[in-house]
Structure formats: structure tokens, C-alpha cells
Structure 1
Amino acid sequence: MLFDKVKAFVVQLDGERAGTEPVFHGGQAVAGRVLLELAGAARVSALRMRARGRARAHWTESRSAGSSTAYTQSYSERVEVVNHRDTLLAPDSGDISMLPAGRHEFPFSFQLPISLVTSFEGKHGSVRYSVKATLHRPWVPARHAQKVFTVIEPVDINIPALLEPQAGAREKVARSWYCTHGPVSLSAKIDRKGYTPGEVIPIFAEIDNGSTRAVQPRAALVQTQTFMARGACKQKRTVVASVDGEPVGPGRRALWPGRMLRIPAVGPSILHCRVLSVDYSLKVCVDIPGSSKLLLELPLVIGTVPLHPLGNRSASVGQFLQSWGLCTGMEPPEAPPEYSEVVRESQLPAASQGPFPLLNHPSVTLEGPYFACLQEFRYRPPPLYAEEDPHPPSEAGRPRCMTC
């Protein structure tokens, strides 16, 4: 039969290697080939290729309208971000082409739009890019071959808005069974808003426990996925990393002089998509026995372009530590790793549930507090005229000022 003559029909992209897949970004050209291997001569009507990129959100909600009536409401939204079609093989006169037995290659190439959305897979939505080839033959169902590729849109954390320190403070009065146990206050700072996977976030916090019970401070990196469709939205929160501090006794005060929280291999922030977004935040909270938690949230942006070494980082962090009165004189900080060295296509973000995961989770590294110290740059004023040259030469015919 004619169907048995097709031994192989696949789509390959340029840059593929064993175990690795190419990664693209907006404005880049995607090139590859469609491989067709025939065991014998076969008649082909056409060979067409289509590249597509879709951002999609979908979920359902069950609603009840009384004791016996229930229905399910469906929410769905889709945005086409890439749509390219091309014909790789088609007879000029509309007749049937006869391809001989053997291996045939049909190259293709197309340009991605300038602005794209990073590839993403979530519970209620996704962003997917693919190249699909369709082989049309007379009297035989069409045969398809598809290749999915990854797009990562660069997010540069070196812009001024992402280099600004983030800080906040909260306070509450601990109460249990209508009894007041005293005030508990929390203040926290981080040196900037933008980070990349593999970096360590130094958390500077102060916990003042004025209650009559010991409290437990914690910090966590939280990913928030937001899906939007038909005017409604659906959110999913996931804790991807966390760290615990030492308990703070009654009437005591504790200081975190740079408690380390390492960012695991997670996808970058998605901020400019109409149907879904991916945001990150650092949540610092204090667990109070018998009362609700004292929670402080600081926004974060996870990027792909790491911080320039010894650039704005030294100055901004130096000023940040001086405001907290911490020591200086340590070596300059190590440059963060490249995004491609930390995040690979096979790695997925953690899917821990609850407000904070267990500390014995394999992806969480617990480290004690450390004192982050940076070199302090002090700029002295320019020297006085008399200090620069005690006997400067005077110009001829020009009297010297006796007050200098």
C-alpha cells in the first residue's frame, strides 16, 4: 500500500543536538527542514508547513442554583502570537508529483515577531510554539509531523526600576480568645527587585516580639500564576523556596542580617500577556501561636539577563547596607550565573502546596544567617588650593590674592 511507503516523516530545527533543544527569542529566525523518507516511489499532492504560537487559558467552575440544580461554567481565552504558513512542495500545474524512493529534505525558514511571550505550562493555561508539517497524498489521509520549540523572552534586571531596594513594615496586636498578648512588629528589606535563578536573596529583617508567647519567623519565594478569560481570573500560588528563622521569645527582638534564600530553577516572570501572567514575591511572615500570621509581601521579578558584575550592584547594595548600619570591608559579590546555566527545558518549578513547604524538601537549602559586607566607597572632597601646591607660580603682571 502507498501508506506503507513512508518510512519516516519528521520536522527538525537547526541547532538541535543530542539531548538538547534550541531556544529562540523574539525577532529571531527559525530555520529547519522536513525530512521525508520513502521506501518506494510515492505520489504527493502537496507538503505544507505551519508555525504557530498560542497563549491559552482555560478552566471550569461548578456553580449551584438551589438544592437540586447545578451547572458548570467554562472560561476560555486564546491569543495567537505566531501564525506563519508556507508551502514546501506543490506542483505548478496542480497535478500530482511523483517522488522517488529515498530520503528527501525540504528546508524552511521564518521570522519570529519582535515581542513574544515566554513558553509556559501551567495548570489552567499555557504558551506553546510549534512547527507542523502536513503531507497530502491522493486517496490517503493526510500525515502530520510536529515539532515543539521553546521561546524565552529576555527580561533584563539591570534596568533602574528593578535595581531599587524593596522594603516594608507591618505590626499587629496578638489576640487569642479575646485576650491581648501584646504587639508584634516586622520590618524587612531586600537590596533590589530583580533577580535571576541561581542567585541568593539576602533578607534583612527585624522582628520585635512584644507578646507573651514565642513567635516563629519565616520567609518564602512564592510564584503566582494568574489566568484571565471572559472578564474573570483564576490564580494558583506555589511556594518554590523557603527558609525558617530561629524562634523569637517573649519580649525579645531578632535581626536577620542577610538571611539567605536561594532561587531555584524557575521560569522567568511573564508580565505582558493578555491571557496569563507569572509573578513572584518574597513573603516574610511571623507565626503567632493562637493568632493569625503577621505577613509582609515584597514584589520580585525573575529575569533572564543577570546583573552586571561590579556595576550598579556594588553601589546599590553598599548604600543599602549602610542604611542598616552593617559592617563593610568584604570582597565584592560574586556575579550571578547565566540563566541558561541554571534553567533547562527539562526542569520544572516546584509544586509545593500550602503557605510554606516543609523544610526537608530536597529543593530547599537551609543556611544560617550571615553578615553581608561590601566595600564602602567614600569620596573625599577635592583638596584645597594651598594643599595642592604650596607655591604656585603667579602670572606676570597679575597680583596674587592675599586671602588665598
Structure 2
Amino acid sequence: MSGTIQDLSVNYDPVNENNTFTCGDVINGRVILEVTKEVKIDSLYIKCKGDANVRWTERRNDDTHVYSAHERYFKLKQVFIQDPSKKGKKDPGTIITTGETYSNVVRPGNHVFPFSFQLPHGNMPASFSAYYGSVKYLLEVRLDRSWKMDRTAIKEITFVPLINNVGPNLMMPQSGATDKKMKLFTSGSASIRASTEKMGYMQGEVIKVYTDIDNSSSRNLKMKYSLEEKQTFSAEGHHKYGSKIIFKEVGDPIPSGSKQTVTTQVTIPSDVDLTIINCGIIKVEYVLKVYLDVPYAKDPTIHFPVVILPAGLFLAPLQSQPGFQPYGNPDASGWSNVPPQPALGPGPSGAAYGPAPGLYPNIQPSPMHPQPANPEAPPPSYHDIYSNPNPPVPGYNPAPSAPTFNPPQYPFMGYPNPTLPHPAPSAPEFCPNPPAPGYGPPGGEPGYWPSPTNVINQPEPYPTKTPEKQE
């Protein structure tokens, strides 16, 4: 910056080695203001807020249509300076927190304004950023002066959901089978049967896939495994889709006329996005594909839904579940019986991806996935799977759960005003050498919309249909 306001920045103190925050955590930090001469300020404040935004454009004929949507999860505000002669603008839905206030006449030099926010408890999605939408949790500082442009400073924080108990549905094993009769350049048939230990996995965890292959075809065939991320963005009744392959593994050839049992281990990247199903306008889902690579023909494929959870949990598979056979037996009865697979392929505009067993009513009955007592009951929310027992930090009043998004109105939570955990100075501290920023995510001050260079470099497998073509 140049002129009277030499510097305006915000720093915060990490609470863990991963530099992430969750429900109930307290964010302590400082706003740094450097001025070259005495200046009169109308207002200086900081906001802590969580929002989801979606935006894209479509061109049909000669018209360009812009679709956008927004969800707000919370907005907290702490005021440092407020000129009593000037009335501040009303900020609906904002919870004003208590803190030290200062004179609106600021002397030359460096000044430090401490702040403290406690993140509310609630069913809030994880931080996420993509070309068409994002879930952002921000610290935003604003400085207002009469007849001058407003100055702002923004720092993004990384939010992960609070998870204490993982529902048993995520820990139950999954299994599936399929077969294919060869035509044209290949004769015979091939069958595969696969199983995994569970559905919920942490970032960086290993997925073990147990596969039985019966290659009765005239060709040598290869087993392949891939994890695909599927993104859905919704706005104004329309949808935009994207996908990308997280990893792909290729197994050894299966000779013609042979049967094999294969155990494959694939590792989930530690920086992969978390699953998001508790946001009304953005969904991030994953599917593990186990398939035989058949030349010149459609590959027989088994789809397993995968839920990506934050790293640091202990997730033990339910090995005691009846009927779970890590290593299948191709000679056992029922090997040729192919159970139906979830419909995870392309669908019409607005169609959801295949439901995950246990999270939604099961469409694949089996001894390992019994049908729920009430198939018509609505699916559970993340709050049912991820409980939020984290108590507030001492010195803060208990906080109610975050509001449930209910468009078009946004109910705001009555989050109580916390007090600072340490006494604030009676005036800004003169600090010739303020602490340098460095705890925020790399890449400079984040924007709401990533650069187009971050767009997924793959064709969208689920093109958006125009309203005239929707059935």
C-alpha cells in the first residue's frame, strides 16, 4: 500500500500442526495497521465468516446466462474503531463479539489490534475450492475513511468438520460382482468379484481391494483400479458437473483360461478434497472403480462409493460383519450371480450420483447391507455421522448448533458474544516490528474464485442440459 495507510494486514495463530480449524476452535490473531501520519478513521473492524458460492455462465443461441448461488454458515464481527458521529451500516445476521475499542484518531507508526473468535458448532462443510464454486472461511479486515477508498485485507483459514464418532455404515464392508460375454474380437466370458473393507477412509489411508477374477475368454486381461472425484454445482434449478481422476492403478495380466485371487492396495493422496454432502449448492463425492480392461469392448466395472474423511482418525473396519469374505472363491456357489450395481453412470441434468450404501436407502440388498427399517426415511446428515461434542473453550458461553440452510431465507444463529481469553490493551500497542504474516495458506491473499488455470482439464462427463431438453 502507499499513501497514509502504509500497511493493513491480518495474522492468526495456528492451533495444530496442520494449520486447520474445526467447530469450537478459537482463532486468536492480530490486525496490523501502519500509518505514515496521523489519520482519522471512520471504522476499522474484522469479520470471520463462512460461505459457499457457486457461479458459472452458459451461452445458448445469442444469450448468455449467469447462474449463481450462495449459502452462509456464520458471520462474526469485532469492531476496533467506530466514529461515534457516524452511524455504521446495519449488517443483518452478523454476531458482534466483544473486544477492546480505540480512538478513531490514529498516531503515526505501527499499531496492533488483537482479536479473538470462537468458531460456532454446526453442520458446516469442509473448505473447498474449484473453478465453478467454493466453500471459504475467511478473516476479512476493513478500514473506512471519509472520501477515501475502503481498504481491506483477507486471510483464508482451512476448516475441517469435527468428527468424533464415524457411523457404522461407513465402516461396513462392500462387495460387488459383474461378468461379461465377449463378442467380436474376443470369445468366451470373464467374471470379477470384488470387496473392500469399508466405505469411509481418511486422507492418506490405504484402500485394500480383494478381487477374484475368472478369465474364461480368449485373451489375457488386466485388472485396473481408479478413484474418481465427482463435483456437482447447483444454482437456480440448474447444475454444472465436473470430474477428475485422483489415481489409476494397473494390475498384472490375468492369463486366458485362468482364475486368480488378487489383493491390491491403493493409497488415497493426503491432500485430496474431503467429501462434501452437507452443502446445498456444492457436492464432492468419490467412486472407486474396479474393472477389467477388455480390448475393443466395454469394460465390466464395479463401482464402490468412497467417503473421504479428515486425516487423524482411527477407523477400524467391521471385520466381524457376517458374510464378509476378503478373498472370494470363484468356485463357490453364487459366483455367477451378479448383484445389481448402483447407477453411477451419466444421467440427465440434475440427476444425483449413485447413492452410497448406508448413507441413503440401499439399492443393493445383501447380507452385508441390510435394508433400513424405514426405506422411505430421509438420508442422515453429516451431523448424524459426525457428532460435534467438542466443548467450548473455557471462558466462553455454550454455543448452539449452526443454522440449517433453508433457501430463500437464512436463519441466523444466536451465537453468544465471547470474551477475550486475555485482557486487551487499553490502546493500540506501538510495535516497530510487527509479526510478519506467514500462517495463512500459500499463494497470497485468496480470492473467491480460483484462476481459470485451476479448471479441471477433462471433458465434463455430465453435460448440463437446457430446460427445453429436460424430461
Q: TM-score under structure 2 normalisation?
A: 0.62
Q: Distance in 1 between matches of 2:441 and 2:323?
A: 37
Separation (CA, whole Å) in 2 of partners of 1:74 and 1:209: 51
The structure 2 residue matched to 1:277, chosen from 283, 292, 295, is: 283
Deviations 1:63-116 (A, max 9, x none): 34xxxxx43333221111222233211133559932111222222223323122
What is the aligned partner in structure 2 of residue 203 from structure 1?
209
Q: Is 1:85 matched up with 2:90?
A: no
Change (3 A) 1:156 1:297: farther
**2:144 aligned residue:** 136
The one-letter code sitting in structure 1 at the alignment partner of 2:161 is: E
Q: Where does 1:163-174 land on structure 2 (aligned, <5 Å)?
A: 163-174=171-182
Separation in structure 2 between the aligned mates of residue 31 and residue 110 of structure 1, nearest angstrom:
7
Q: Larger RCO: Structure 1 or Structure 2 (Cα < 8 Å, ≥ 6 residues apart)?
A: 2
Q: Which amino acid aligns with 2:10?
A: V
Note closer, same or farther for the CA distance 1:72–1:138 as it changes in structure 2 (3 Å cut): closer
Q: Report how many residues are paired.
A: 324
Secondary structure of the residue aligned to 2:131 is coil
- 8 A Cα contact 2:25 2:118, kept in partner: yes
Contact 1:168/1:187, CA 8 A, preserved across alignment? yes
Distance 1:274 1:181 in 2: 48
More strand by share: 1
Q: Which residue does 1:292 correspond to in 2?
A: 298
In structure 2, relative to structure 1, the CA distance for the partners of 1:254 and 1:322 (3 Å cut) is closer
Per the alignment, residue 117 of structure 2 pairs with 110
Structure 1 stretches of 4+ moved >6 Å: 349-352
User: Counterpart in 1 of 2:189?
Assistant: 183
Q: Distance in 2 between matches of 1:120 and 1:36?
A: 30
Please state if 1:121 is matched with 2:129: yes
Q: Secondary structure at the match of 1:131?
A: strand
Alpha carbons 1:53, 1:130 under 8 Å: kept? yes
Map 1:17-96 → 2, pairs under 5 A? 22-64=19-61, 70-94=62-86
Decide whether the 8 Å contact of 2:15 with 2:21 is kept in 1: no
State whether structure 2 residue 98 is matched by structure 1 residue 99: no
**Hey, what's the Cα distance between the residues in 2 that align with 1:46 and 1:191?**
56
**Does the C-alpha gap of structure 1 residues 124 and 51 become closer, same or farther in structure 2, counting only changes over 3 Å?**
same
Amino acid at match of 1:8: D
1:227, distance to aligned residue in structure 2 (A): 1.3
Q: Could you tell which deviates more after superposition, 279-288 or 314-323?
A: 314-323
CA contact (8 A) 1:210 1:250 kept: yes
Secondary structure at the counterpart of residue 162 of structure 1 = helix
- Which of the pair has more CA radius of gyration? 1
1:297 Cα shift? 0.4
Cα pair distance change 1:291/1:93, threshold 3 Å: closer
Is the contact between residue 212 and residue 328 of structure 2 (CA under 8 Å) also seen in structure 1? no
Structure 2 runs not aligned, ≥5 long: 88-102, 330-439, 444-453, 461-471
* Equivalent residues of 1:157, 1:163 under 8 A apart: no
Structure 1 length-normalised TM: 0.71
Other structure's SS at 2:55 match: strand
- Name the CA distance, whole Å, in 1 between partners of 2:182 and 2:135: 44
Secondary structure, counterpart of 2:254 in structure 1: coil
Answer yes or no: is 1:160 the counterpart of 2:173: no
SS in 2 for 1:161: helix
Which digits, 9 at most, give the CA deviation of each residue in 1:98-154, with x for residues without a partner? Answer: 211122222222332312211101121111121221212233222212211111113
Structure 1 stretches lacking a partner, 5+ long: 65-69, 326-343, 356-404
1:149 aligns with 2:148: no
Given residue 226 of structure 2, which amino acid in structure 1 is its aligned partner? A
Task: Quickly say closer, same or farther: Cα 1:56–1:167, change in 2 above 3 A.
Answer: same
Question: 1:170 offset after TM fit, Å?
Answer: 0.9
**Structure with greater helix percent:** 1
| Cα distance, 1:244 vs structure 2 | 0.8
Deviations 1:128-183 (A, max 9, x none): 1212212122332222122111111134674311110011011121222xx87222
SS at match of 2:187: strand
Residue equivalent to 1:253? 259
